[in-house]
Amino acid sequence: MKFLDEAKIYVRSGRGGAGSVSFRREKYIEYGGPDGGDGGRGGDIILEAVENLNTLIDFRYQQHFKAEVGMHGMGRQRTGRSGKSITIKVPVGTQVLAEDRETLIVDMIEPGQTYMLCRGGDGGRGNTHFKSSTNQAPRRAEEGWPAEEMWVWLRLKLIADAGLVGLPNAGKSTFLAASSHARPKIADYPFTTLHPQLGVVNVDDHEFVLADIPGLIEGASEGKGIGTRFLGHIERCEVLVHLIDCGEEDPVATYKTVREELEGYAEELVEKPEIVVLSKADQLLPEMVEEQRQILEKGIGKKVYVVSGVTQQGLKEIHREIRAYIDGERERRAREGREEEGFQP
């Protein structure tokens, strides 16, 4: 299945059916009076977030969604049939934006969440509603209410607990493959990963979702390489895992390059908790790896971990550290939520 994280679609609800102008015509009933029925209601356009989707590829082949119109009313006070609604299924984590690509309409972040994007028009009233003591034979009925229509952008931001960042060939795909059952493409050339990958990591009877995105290079925020278009998929992560190849000549400069590109995309990314990791430890002698670790720790002022996806070195320690950060962030948000509720009158 191909990965697509952005799509533009046209949606239109159904217009309401017109009311009917009709009079009762029966033998032996001289003054039957008006009996025109109401028009049926038009169908709605409804969005639903579902768990078994992780791409917007279906919207490449269908971009137009039009709900059924309501049927017009009929005599004998018969109401027209309502139009059928359309439910559009989208992956959890999909944002719906207006045509300007900036105005957020709704963020579909919960499985089973629904949102009425376009409301169907109400049906018009038949002439029965306009009967009065001074107008006992009204020849008036209402047209149905018009439909709603719009172009919208769907933008998918994957739901992951932790995200991997780093330069191309930093060992992110190997780390993901060693940590989970995901099978990303692994090769000895840059930009092996062309679209985000997800894996479920098990540690101490707990699970968390780990996301791998294509590597960043200097100038990515200006469009170089693959650019920063996939960084949206780690905006929802609780913690970032920054991988640096232990064979880099200047690991501090490498670290700063990635951080600058993250900041160029969104400041909220550089404010997220970060775990710095030297990867590919199996490719150097232990004393050389330790030297690189000390250089990096001194240069950035943060603790640096060492891992090897090939030999599994340090993986469990990193997994436990990631899990601790995830739990800590969730507890912090829950505590802030309780404090806000406490201030409500």
Residues tagged in the binding site annotation for Mg(2+): 173, 193
Measured CA to CA, the distance from residue 196 to residue 206 in angstroms comes to: 23
Using alpha carbons, select from 258, 241, 240, 248 the residue that is nearest to residue 293. 248
Beta-carbon contacts of 310 under 8 Å, excluding residues fewer than 6 positions away, are: 174, 178, 280, 282
Number of H helices, E strands in the chain: 5, 14
Taken in order 260, 266, 270, 275, the sign of the CA dihedral is: negative
Residue type, 136: Q
Using alpha carbons, select from 206, 114, 220 the residue that is nearest to residue 165. 220
Structure token pair of residue 222: 């200006």
Measured CA to CA, the distance from residue 93 to residue 49 in angstroms comes to: 8
Measured CA to CA, the distance from residue 323 to residue 318 in angstroms comes to: 9
Q: Which residues pair with 206 in a beta bridge?
A: 203
Give the 3-state secondary structure of residue 203: strand
Annotated binding site: which residue ranges?
Answer: 166-173, 191-195, 212-215, 279-282, 308-310
Cβ neighbours of 307 (radius 10 Å) = 28
Residue type, 292: Q
Residue type, 93: G
Place of tokens 């994007």: 117
Annotated binding site for GTP: which residue ranges?
Answer: 166-173, 191-195, 212-215, 279-282, 308-310
